[in-house]
Chain A
Amino acid sequence: MSPLVISAWSATSPFGVGADPFRAGLEAGRSAVEPVDRETHPGPFEQAALVPEFTAARYVGKKGTRTMDRVTALAVTTVGGLVKDLTDELAAHPEQTGLVLGTGSGSVQSIMDFTRDSLVGERPYHVDPARFPNTVMNRAAGQGAIWHRIKGPNTTVAGGTLTGLLALSYAVRLLRGGHCGRVLCGAAEEYSTQRAWLEWHGRAEEERDTPLGEGSAVFLVESAEAAEAAGRTALAAIGAVRFRACAEPEGAATARRTLADCVRGALDAAGVGPENVRAVLPLAGGGPLATQEAAAVRDALGEARPRWTRLRDLVGDTSAAATSLQLAAALAESGDRGLAPGEAALITGVDRDGMVGCAVLTGAGARR
């Protein structure tokens, strides 16, 4: 089978809707973190990085979006940014395109609002049936499929901050298994008061103040052969996506050794030497884990001196969307033609639950 490549991408981020504002914000190194409107967003944070003026009505349309929650609208919008170039393929063979979307735990706002209605209503079943599907975690992927008529495998993936890497790994497995011809794959996360409180309580003390971000990134993954047949430029080949677990998740010190092993394994599998890695895009989560993450990458890369991009400094903590947005940043940095032959980008993540992961993207070779 020919190598799997990313041949298009789309992002909805605190820099705006679409790949262009994302690239521009990244290039300028501009922080999108701003004071939050405390009326609309009560909660523990005074600052956040929100997608500017984003609403379902504005970006998805007024019709049929009355009950659409924010994470679903972010996902539907981002997928929409890619399907405009797939119109013919989707019309001819809708079942040949899969959609794999990562989430933290769905929309915790939708879920907890629904429970609240059950608790405060006159009867415990006085809940809005139209909003029940929003409380199920595959809602965003399902609406993405309905909105854009995507009838192939439709899968929701979760795994904390590693979610975007897991979605990519799952998509690769789906394609290698022959379950469809191309996959739209990525993750989405919304800003909400409930998520803000959950993050606040879930974090260690030293990470408490990192502002939250939100957004979504989605990639078109297919074989190099399929991309070429469709006239799409292979922006990067997926060299490897790898994961490992820390033997002692509580001790951050083990994260360094575990991630270093993970990166070495991924570089080996991708057939890439440390000197080929030109860009490193870490999760950079803050606190001791971020220090361990950086040290692990230096351990694995040795003398190499790649460019480091810490997206989190610009768009805040985007939780389940973080590693997808890091992947998008790697592509944004490499420009319209993608990664050059012999060039590689390394995307890493460390999760609080003791899992680590990384992806190696490489130049896809043939340039047109």
Chain B
Amino acid sequence: MVYDDGQPPRRVVITGLGTVTSIGLGAPAFLAGLRTGRSGVKPITTFDTTGFAHANGCEVADFDPREWIHRIDTTELGRATQFSVAAAGMAVADAGLTPQELGERRVLVSVGTTDAESGDLDGLARTQLDEGPERWAPGVVRRAQAGRLSSAVVRELGLVDVEALTIPTACAAGNYAIGSGFDAIRSGEVEAALCGGADAVCRKTFAGFYRLGTIAPEVCQPFDKDRKGILTGEGAGVLLLESLESARARGARIYAEVLGYGLNCDAHHPVAPDQDSLARCMEVAHRNAGVKAEDVDFISAHGTGTRANDVTEAGAIRQVFDTPPPTISIKSMIGHSMGAASALAAAACALAITEDFIPPTVNHRETDPECALDCVPNEARAARLDVVQNNALAFAGNNAVLILGRVREAA
């Protein structure tokens, strides 16, 4: 393939990571959590949980937005946007760039989400019941829009030559956002991309999943025969992407290369996943990335811990892989952080490649024979990884599979 400017596709690498999670703020803390199998689960405090028989979640504790956000008044930002902006700032610093240096480049900011600021909409719904919609606070109304998740990153960093794109493709949105960043750098359209996902725990989504019977009472146990469902979580993961050439020219540390990605849509059921369609999405991703199934050293699964997801996903993996590689779910540690989930999982994959280990699936007692995967139970495993696969599924049958790899010298 040759692009319009006559150049072959650029190779795309990850040089900065920003992570806001229930097991630690910043890439070093997140890495330590992944290595030791830390769990972020605790009782939910974001909203009043009275009336729910159980309400554990994976909230981000000890997050003071003013520690991370300096230009914007943090009250102008909803909680998910605060996470997004904080993670973007971390990613820029982690890449060894200043906002000014980034501001001299053409940039794409793409942030995925499931609920954006639905937490603020919950609050407005409460006010509407108690006092009427006339009493809403304009500042809360203005910040309660999905577009803010990316435009606030632009404002905080003072970027100018930039596109601010929010991708609300639900629980696969992080991979979508990273994919769009990959395409934009590969074609030479932009010089850097800040891409990932962000979400905050909210009543609306907890109540919905609870009603569907998919909220686990205590912990999240992907692929375990006694798994009881998801735990809603929150946070943000943002990756700084640039071309390999640009990273080398400035002597940047390179975590991993983005090899490619695949998207497809089941176009079948609004909430139930489709095994054949997911298997096809993995094949599309392999083709786009120029890898074969047998090259993949481990899979970071969507792995929500529900009956429907885990059996369908394991089935799709076995359909594509003669011998499935180790397949883990970091949701066992950080819960389901919705739009942030696949972005944080991609950050985990990048760290795994750099640090030579596979993160564990914690809370694991006995693997469900229907899943029959090596989920690296409870303890991280040392491994040299060349190619890793990051799965994401969403309501509406939206599948997104991202492929990362160790940077090799030869092009």
Question: Which residues of A approach B to under 8 Å, CB–CB?
Answer: 1, 43, 94-95, 98-99, 103-106, 108, 111-112, 114-116, 118-120, 123-127, 129, 132-133, 135-139, 141-143, 145-146, 148-160, 162-163, 166, 169-170, 173-174, 176-179, 197-198, 201-202, 243-245, 247, 249, 258, 351-355, 357
Contacts and interface: CB of A to CB of B under 8 A. Distances in A.
A1 B4 contact: yes
Given A106-B168, A125-B210, A178 B267 contact: no
18 contacts: A105-B144, A118-B204, A132-B271, A135-B208, A138-B395, A146-B269, A146-B396, A149-B267, A152-B264, A154-B263, A155-B398, A158-B168, A177-B182, A202-B142, A243-B164, A245-B160, A247-B160, A258-B160
Contacts of B152: 353
B167 A245 contact: no
B8 interface: no
Contact of A127 (B114, B176, B207): B207
B116 A153 contact: no
Given A120-B129, A178-B288, A170 B180 contact: yes
Given A153-B265, A159-B150, 11 more contacts: A103-B146, A104-B146, A115-B126, A119-B126, A125-B51, A133-B395, A151-B264, A153-B264, A158-B146, A174-B180, A178-B1
B194 to A, nearest CB: 13
Nearest to B181: A173
A162 B165 CA distance: 10
Contacts of A201: 136-138, 141-142
Contact of B114 (A136, A149, A178): A136
Contacts of A136: 114-115, 170, 395-396
Given A118-B204, A146-B267, A176 B121 contact: no
A354 B394 CA distance: 31
Contacts of B263: 98, 152-155, 179
Given A138-B168, A152-B264, A354-B155, A105 B116 contact: yes
A173 B126 CA distance: 40
Contacts of A141: 169, 396, 398
Interface stretch (B183-191, B223-231, B299-307): B183-191
A76 B213 CA distance: 29
Interface of B: 1, 3-4, 49-52, 113-118, 121-122, 124-126, 128-129, 133, 136-138, 141-142, 144-148, 150-152, 154-155, 158-170, 176, 180, 182-184, 186-187, 189, 203-205, 207-208, 210-212, 262-271, 277, 280, 284, 288, 394-398
Given A103-B146, A116-B125, A176-B183, A111 B165 contact: no
A306 B264 CA distance: 41
A197 B263 CA distance: 36
B395 A145 contact: no
Given A106-B168, A245-B155, A151 B267 contact: yes
A118 B146 contact: no
Contacts of A159: 147, 150-151, 164-166
Given A132-B208, A245-B154, A245-B160, A116 B128 contact: yes
B180 A156 contact: no
Given A125-B207, A141-B396, A201-B136, A103 B270 contact: no
Given A112-B121, A135-B204, A157 B167 contact: yes
A174 B183 contact: yes
A116 B126 CA distance: 7
A43 B265 CA distance: 37
A179 B121 CA distance: 35
B396 A243 contact: no
A245 B164 contact: yes
Contacts of A123: 51
A173 B395 contact: no
B291 to A, nearest CB: 16
A83 B123 CA distance: 40
A247 B212 CA distance: 46
